[in-house]
């Protein structure tokens, strides 16, 4: 489809930089792992004895830092945040750019329905998100394996990356919805990323205090929490279900609202 | 079947009125003008017809199809040139035009040939990036993307802004050619002379409502011109007292008056005079609208 | 003066939102301070068993960490992240709008020099940041008063708070430079968000081990909580680095901007 190809071309260079950035993040993060390795197993016991809130300060509650995959779990939060930023900016940008750049009078005066254009944009966004995920996954597998001296890490990384993909899709679709609803195109990415940042903060709060545990349903970062995933070894069906629900309703909502409102000129 | 038919088309932006109860009929094959002051509702009407904004109430059809239900199908046959043109800056002109062509069911090769012909006619370098084009050149891109697929209905919203007079001429010739081939044209403008040159009929819109729909001929007849004469010797004043003359003033060697009616009636009188100089001034837009506002208020 | 005032009013709404958000962050986190301080003695004892090397690497100072300052210094990091986004948004926005925005043609054809335009806008942005900081500092102080069981030194506290403004200034300067270097900025947020987060992550990862070299790279690491608490002052070295950075960046931004062609808005 022409709109799909055009969007893919337009995002080419940006996607490349983001992939490179992710690779840099993973590689430099894992490079720090060396120091932990030398300290050995005694650390885990010590850390386990600390109050939860304190551990959160170091972002390392519960992880077995002597294993490369455990360390990667700590790194995962940062990976997730960067991927979330990418997804949010992508989702909001794809939908709002026509009105922001005033090309809507060109595109939507063509024999194309808004829905068709949205579909093409969603597909292009999906492609971008998946490519970033694959780049992250491949570099993660490579670097974790490199530093873990042979211990098999493939399964754990894959699990985390699947979780990451869900996370990306959630923020992508939610941000698209924001852009579909909001009439001022320049406001859309700000609102979308603010929501994302807020959920990130809430995730931190949940980590810090048991009393706030109920908030974990509000923030997607806790649906696919590295520690939980590594401990359980699988995805929680409840969270997967919630993710699917969020993504589906956001997508449907985007179509609904974007079709019904006037295009800002 | 009419090209465009609107029935009580209304659009409110929140509380402020866009257009109210607009009833328009544009017949196939005509060049229909749409004039009015800024903010009258011309763009609102056009954007509603194209589906860029949704009507608050009322309905419209283009070639018999409902604009709310059959948008994409309608736009296969429509070419649109907006008043302000914005395109994707990173593309070259030819890329954008090919992208535009890709939306239509017509054979892309045919459209591409037409693109190149039009570009040559309008003197546009297709290889340049949109970003590097002057405003006028961007407008040319706009013209081409509106015409290349040979649409049955061409909608133009203040199209000549930014075009030099030569290109304007070519543009109008293009439009006439398309019209001769059977295309309907809806031409919105606040420049009366352009509308006069091109259109068969015209609708006048003010404050969101249609005041009048009229043949151009009638409009011209009804427009007032100011005549200023310099003469060798002044004749008797009664010579000028024909129907349509007003505000008549005369001195020893000059005379001036306003005239509304058939021009030939005046030129016949002038031909018999010994003139040294003659000035005929077109009414400006304000005079025209003043006329219509007066007429409206007095009715 | 007119440009200054206009910009100030234009930023009003966003300033309120930012000040409120930053205050909100602080209030929520401060409310967790009690949970953090449960059984400090036991925690300190446990941490003392960590190898010294690791403790240094993790930057755990047993003396400072469990004080109000230590905790506040930690959560200030979050607020600093958000505040830096605000600052960089503003910085990028100043120039981006005047390079290729629709107002560029308007403003720059007035009898006013480009330098004056930028300076006025910069001044407006500084006032905006100051206002935000005043609100933030006030809220933080009262929150600290409310949750802290022991009295604390206002001096140290405000010194910690000042680092927020200092880091903001760096990102403000960086934002102006980015804006003159990038050909067309369609969305300010898509420039500032990834940049700020990247520096934050560099700081966080680098923080875990190998303190010093990273400290020069990431603005978030310029000012060390422990040092401030212990010495009740900021490290002169980093203040100098910051000052130099800001001067160079902003000067460069001015120079480039004054030479640049202004693209028309069409």
Q: Does B52 sit within 8 Å of A101, measured CB to CB? A: no
Mutate to test the interface with A, among C193, C195, C204, C218 (most CBs of A within 10 A): C193
**Geometric angle at alpha carbon C215, from A39 and C128, rounded to 5°:** 135
A109 reaches C (C-beta below 8 A): no
pTM of the model: 0.84
- Output the pLDDT for position B128: 93
The DSSP call for residue B70 is S
B207 reaches A (C-beta below 8 A): no
CA distance C34 to chain A (A): 10
Residue B162 tokens read as 């930014």
B211 Cβ partners below 8 Å, 6+ apart? Answer: B204, B205, B292, B296
CA distance A237 to chain C (A): 31
Cα end-to-end distance, chain C, whole Å: 28
Q: Using a CB-CB distance cutoff of 8 angstroms, which residues of chain C are in contact with residue B138? A: 266
List, for residues C155-171, the tens digit of each pLDDT value. Answer: 888 888 999 999 999 99
Mean pLDDT over B19-30 rounds to 95
B42-61 residues touching A, CB cutoff 8 A: 47, 50-54
Q: Is B221's pLDDT higher than 90?
A: no
Mean pLDDT over A161-179 rounds to 97
Find the closest chain A residue to C193 by CA distance. A85
List, for residues A198-212, the tens digit of each pLDDT value. Answer: 999 888 888 777 777
Q: What is the mean pLDDT of chain C?
A: 82
Q: Using a CB-CB distance cutoff of 8 angstroms, which residues of chain C are in contact with residue A51? A: 35-36, 38-39, 43
- Output the pLDDT for position B298: 44
Q: Does B103 sit within 8 Å of A111, measured CB to CB? A: yes
Mean pLDDT over C160-184 rounds to 91
Q: For residues A165 and A133, is the Cβ–Cβ distance under 8 A?
A: yes
Quickly tell me which residue has 């229909």 as its tokens. Answer: B32
List, for residues C3-48, the tens digit of each pLDDT value. Answer: 888 888 888 988 999 999 999 988 888 887 776 666 666 667 766 7
Tell me if residue A154 falls in helix, strand or coil.
Answer: helix
Which class for A108: exposed (0-12), middle (13-18), buried (19 or more C-beta within 10 A)? Answer: buried
B108-147 residues touching A, CB cutoff 8 A: 145
Find the closest chain B residue to A114 by CA distance. B72
Q: Does A208 sit within 8 Å of C32, measured CB to CB? A: yes
Q: For residues A150 and A82, is the Cβ–Cβ distance under 8 A?
A: no
The Cα–Cα gap between C244 and C224 comes to 19
Which class for B279: exposed (0-12), middle (13-18), buried (19 or more C-beta within 10 A)? Answer: exposed
CA distance B135 to chain C (A): 6
Q: For residues A224 and A237, is the Cβ–Cβ distance under 8 A?
A: no
Mean pLDDT over B119-130 rounds to 93
Q: Which of B7-21, B170-184, B238-252, C186-200 has the lowest mean pLDDT?
A: B238-252
A147-206 residues touching C, CB cutoff 8 A: 186, 189-190, 193-194, 197, 201, 204-205
- Output the pLDDT for position C203: 81
CA distance C261 to chain B (A): 13
**Helix C68-100 vs helix A187-208: angle between axes, to the nearest 10 degrees?**
170
The DSSP call for residue B281 is E
- Output the pLDDT for position C147: 81
Question: Which of A35, A51, A82 lies nearest to residue C197, judging by beta carbons?
Answer: A82
| Nearest alpha carbon to residue B102 among B145, B65, B69 | B145
For chain C, how big is the Rg over CA atoms in Å? 20
The Cα–Cα gap between C190 and C89 comes to 9
Cα–Cα distances (Å) from B241 to B221, B226, B281, C84, in that order, read: 18, 15, 19, 81
Cα–Cα distances (Å) from A109 to A113, A120, B72, in that order, read: 9, 16, 8
Find the closest chain A residue to C18 by CA distance. A194
Q: Which of B105-109, B181-185, C109-113 has the lowest mean pLDDT?
A: C109-113
Q: For residues C229 and C73, is the Cβ–Cβ distance under 8 A?
A: yes
| Nearest alpha carbon to residue B52 among A118, A264, A253 | A264
Quickly tell me which residue has 């809430």 as its tokens. Answer: A202
Q: Does B50 sit within 8 Å of A106, measured CB to CB? A: no
Cα–Cα distances (Å) from A191 to A48, A174, A179, in that order, read: 38, 11, 9
Residue C125 tokens read as 């942005």
The Cα–Cα gap between B153 and B28 comes to 8
Higher pLDDT: B177 or B294? It is B177
Question: Which of A25, A35, A189 lies nearest to residue C201, judging by beta carbons?
Answer: A25
**Geometric angle at alpha carbon C257, from C254 and C261, rounded to 5°:** 160
The DSSP call for residue A16 is H
Q: Is B294's pLDDT higher than 70?
A: no
List, for residues C209-254, the tens digit of each pLDDT value. Answer: 555 677 788 888 888 877 887 788 888 888 898 999 999 999 999 9
Residue B281 has phi, psi (to 5 degrees) of -105, 130
From chain C, which residues contact A within 8 Å (Cβ)?
A: 21, 25, 28-29, 32, 35-36, 38-39, 43, 46-47, 49-51, 53-54, 57-58, 74, 78, 82, 186-187, 189-190, 193-194, 197-198, 201, 204-205, 208-210
List, for residues A56-69, the tens digit of each pLDDT value. Answer: 666 666 666 667 77
Q: Using a CB-CB distance cutoff of 8 angstroms, which residues of chain B are in contact with residue C184? A: 89
Residue C235 tokens read as 């490290």
| Predicted-complex ipTM score | 0.81
Residue A83 tokens read as 């991927």
Quickly tell me which residue has 């003043």 as its tokens. Answer: B290
Q: Regarding beta strands B275-281 and B225-231, do their DSSP bridges make them parallel or antiparallel, or are they unpaired?
A: antiparallel
Q: For residues B229 and B275, is the Cβ–Cβ distance under 8 A?
A: yes
- DSSP secondary structure string for all residues of A61-90: TT--TTSHHHHHHHHHHHHHHHHHHHHHHH
Beta-carbon-side half-sphere exposure of residue A118 (alpha carbons within 13 Å): 20
- Output the pLDDT for position A139: 93
A104, containing H or E segment: helix A104-107
From chain C, which residues contact B within 8 Å (Cβ)?
A: 184, 264, 266
Q: What is the mean pLDDT of chain A?
A: 87
Q: Is C262's pLDDT higher than 90?
A: no
The Cα–Cα gap between A51 and A63 comes to 14
Question: Which of A43, A75, A211 lies nearest to residue C54, judging by beta carbons?
Answer: A43
Express as a percent the part of chain A with pLDDT over 90: 59
Q: Report residue B299's pLDDT band, with 50, 70 and 90 as the boundaries.
A: very low
Mean pLDDT over B5-12 rounds to 95
Q: In what order do the strands lie in the sheet with B4-13?
A: B16-26, B4-13, B57-62, B65-66
Which class for A23: exposed (0-12), middle (13-18), buried (19 or more C-beta within 10 A)? Answer: middle
Mean pLDDT over A32-57 rounds to 64
Q: Is C58's pLDDT higher than 90?
A: no
B285 Cβ partners below 8 Å, 6+ apart? Answer: B190, B191, B192
Q: Does B105 sit within 8 Å of A262, measured CB to CB? A: no
The DSSP call for residue B92 is B
Q: Which chains touch A (3 or more CB pairs under 8 A)?
A: B, C
List, for residues A241-258, the tens digit of each pLDDT value. Answer: 999 999 999 999 999 999
Q: Is B232's pLDDT higher than 70?
A: yes
Q: Which of A232-246, B144-158, C60-74 has the lowest mean pLDDT?
A: C60-74
The Cα–Cα gap between C175 and B11 comes to 42
CA distance A2 to chain C (A): 23
CA distance C167 to chain A (A): 19
Find the closest chain B residue to A102 by CA distance. B86
Mutate to test the interface with A, among C31, C45, C47, C187 (most CBs of A within 10 A): C187
Q: Report residue A114's pLDDT band, with 50, 70 and 90 as the boundaries.
A: very high
Question: Which of A28, A97, A204 lies nearest to residue C205, judging by beta carbons?
Answer: A28
Mutate to test the interface with C, among B86, B131, B136 (most CBs of C within 10 A): B131
Q: Does B50 sit within 8 Å of A109, measured CB to CB? A: yes
C264 Cβ partners below 8 Å, 6+ apart? Answer: B135, C104, C105
Q: In what order do the strands lie in the sheet with B78-81?
A: B78-81, B153-157, B184-189, B31-35, B201-206, B209-215
- DSSP secondary structure string for all residues of chain C: -HHHHHHHHHTHHHHHHHHHHHHHHHHHHHTTHHHHTTTHHHHHHHHTTS-HHHHHHTT--HHHHTSHHHHHHHHHHHHHHHHHHHHHHHHHHHHHHHHHSHHHHHHHTSSS-HHHHHHHHHHHHHHHHHHHHHHHHHHHHHHHHHH-SS---HHHHHHHHHHHHHHHHHHHHHHHHHHHHSS--S-HHHHHHHHHHHHHHHHHHHHHS-HHHHHHH-GGGSS-HHHHHHHSS--HHHHHHHHHHHHHHHHHHHHHHHHSPPPP--
Q: Is B241's pLDDT higher than 60?
A: yes
**Geometric angle at alpha carbon B60, from A120 and A98, rounded to 5°:** 30
Higher pLDDT: C91 or A51? It is C91
Q: Does B54 sit within 8 Å of A262, measured CB to CB? A: yes
B-to-C residue pairs, Cβ atoms closer than 8 angstroms: 5
Per-residue b or e along C220-229, where b marks 16 or more CB atoms closer than 10 Å to that residue's CB: bbbbbbbebb
- Output the pLDDT for position B26: 95
A56 reaches C (C-beta below 8 A): no
B56 Cβ partners below 8 Å, 6+ apart? Answer: B10, B11, B12
């Amino acid at each position: 489809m022409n709109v799909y190809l055009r969007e893919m071309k337009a995002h080419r260079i940006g996607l490349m930089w983001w992939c490179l950035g992710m690779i840099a993040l993973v590689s430099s993060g894992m490079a720090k792992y060396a120091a932990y390795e030398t300290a050995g197993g005694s650390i885990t016991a010590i850390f386990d004895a600390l109050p939860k809130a304190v551990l959160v300060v170091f972002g390392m509650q519960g992880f077995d830092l002597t294993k490369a995959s455990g360390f990667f779990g700590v790194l995962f939060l940062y990976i997730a945040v960067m991927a979330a930023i990418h997804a949010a900016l992508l989702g909001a940008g794809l939908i709002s750019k026509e009105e922001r750049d005033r090309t809507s009078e060109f595109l939507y005066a063509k024999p194309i329905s808004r829905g068709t254009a949205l579909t093409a944009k969603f597909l292009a966004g999906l492609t971008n998100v998946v490519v970033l995920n694959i780049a992250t996954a491949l570099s993660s597998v490579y670097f974790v394996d490199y530093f873990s001296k042979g211990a098999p890490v493939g399964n754990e990384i894959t699990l985390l990356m699947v979780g990451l993909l869900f996370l990306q899709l959630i923020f992508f679709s939610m941000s698209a919805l924001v852009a579909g609803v909001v009439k001022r195109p320049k406001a859309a990415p700000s609102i979308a990323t603010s929501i994302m940042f807020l959920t990130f903060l809430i995730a931190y709060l949940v980590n810090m205090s048991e009393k706030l545990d109920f908030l974990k349903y509000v923030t997607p970062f806790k649906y696919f929490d590295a520690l939980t995933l590594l401990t359980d070894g699988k995805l929680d069906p409840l969270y997967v279900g919630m993710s699917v629900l969020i993504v589906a309703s956001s997508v449907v909502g985007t179509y609904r609202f974007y079709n019904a409102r006037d295009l800002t000129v | 079947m009419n090209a465009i038919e609107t029935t009580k088309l209304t659009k409110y932006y929140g509380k402020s009125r866009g257009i109210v109860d607009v009833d328009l009929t544009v017949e196939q094959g005509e060049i229909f003008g749409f004039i009015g002051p800024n903010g009258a509702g011309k763009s609102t009407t056009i954007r509603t017809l194209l589906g860029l904004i949704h009507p608050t109430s009322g309905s419209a059809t283009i070639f018999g199809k409902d604009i709310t239900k059959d948008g994409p199908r309608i736009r296969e046959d429509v070419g649109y040139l907006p008043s302000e043109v914005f395109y994707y800056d990173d593309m070259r002109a030819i890329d954008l035009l090919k992208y535009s062509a890709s939306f239509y069911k017509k054979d892309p090769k045919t459209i591409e040939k037409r693109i190149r012909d039009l570009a040559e006619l309008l003197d546009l370098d297709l290889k340049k990036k949109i970003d590097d084009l002057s405003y006028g050149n961007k407008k040319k891109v706009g013209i081409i993307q509106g015409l290349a697929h040979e649409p049955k209905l061409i909608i133009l919203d203040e199209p000549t802004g930014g075009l030099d007079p030569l290109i304007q001429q070519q543009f109008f010739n293009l439009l006439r050619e398309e019209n001769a081939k059977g295309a309907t044209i809806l031409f919105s403008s606040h420049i009366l002379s352009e509308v006069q040159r091109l259109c068969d009929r015209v609708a006048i819109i003010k404050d969101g409502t249609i005041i009048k729909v009229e043949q151009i001929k009638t409009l011209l007849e009804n427009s007032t011109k100011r005549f200023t004469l310099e003469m060798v010797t002044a004749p008797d004043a009664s010579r000028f007292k024909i129907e349509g003359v007003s505000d008549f003033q005369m001195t020893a060697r000059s005379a001036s008056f306003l005239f509304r009616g058939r021009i030939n009636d005046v030129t016949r009188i002038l031909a018999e005079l010994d003139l040294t100089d003659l000035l005929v001034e077109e009414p400006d837009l304000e005079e025209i609208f003043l006329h219509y506002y007066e007429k409206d208020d007095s009715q | 003066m007119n440009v200054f005032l206009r910009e100030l009013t234009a930023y009003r709404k966003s300033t309120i939102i930012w000040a409120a958000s930053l205050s909100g962050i602080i209030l929520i986190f401060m409310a967790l301070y009690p949970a953090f301080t449960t059984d400090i003695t036991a925690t300190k004892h446990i941490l003392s068993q960590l190898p010294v090397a690791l403790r240094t690497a993790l930057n755990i100072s047993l003396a400072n960490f469990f004080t109000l300052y230590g905790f506040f210094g930690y959560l200030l990091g979050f607020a600093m992240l958000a505040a830096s986004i605000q600052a960089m948004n503003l910085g990028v926005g100043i120039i981006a709008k005047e390079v290729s925005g629709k107002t560029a043609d308007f403003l720059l054809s007035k009898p006013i020099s480009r330098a004056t335009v930028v300076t006025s806008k910069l001044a407006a942005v500084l006032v905006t940041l100051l206002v935000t900081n005043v609100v933030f500092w006030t809220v933080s102080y009262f929150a600290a008063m409310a949750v802290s069981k022991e009295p604390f030194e206002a001096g140290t506290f405000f010194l910690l708070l000042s680092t927020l403004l200092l880091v903001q200034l760096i990102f403000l300067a960086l934002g102006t430079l980015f804006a003159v270097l990038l050909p067309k900025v369609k969305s300010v947020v898509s420039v500032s968000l990834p940049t700020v987060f990247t520096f934050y992550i560099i700081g966080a990862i680098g923080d875990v081990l190998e303190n010093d070299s990273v400290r020069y790279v990431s603005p978030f690491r310029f000012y060390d909580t422990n040092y401030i608490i212990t010495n009740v002052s900021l490290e002169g070295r980093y203040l100098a680095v910051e000052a130099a950075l800001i001067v160079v960046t902003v000067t460069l931004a001015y120079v480039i901007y004054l030479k640049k062609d202004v693209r028309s808005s069409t």
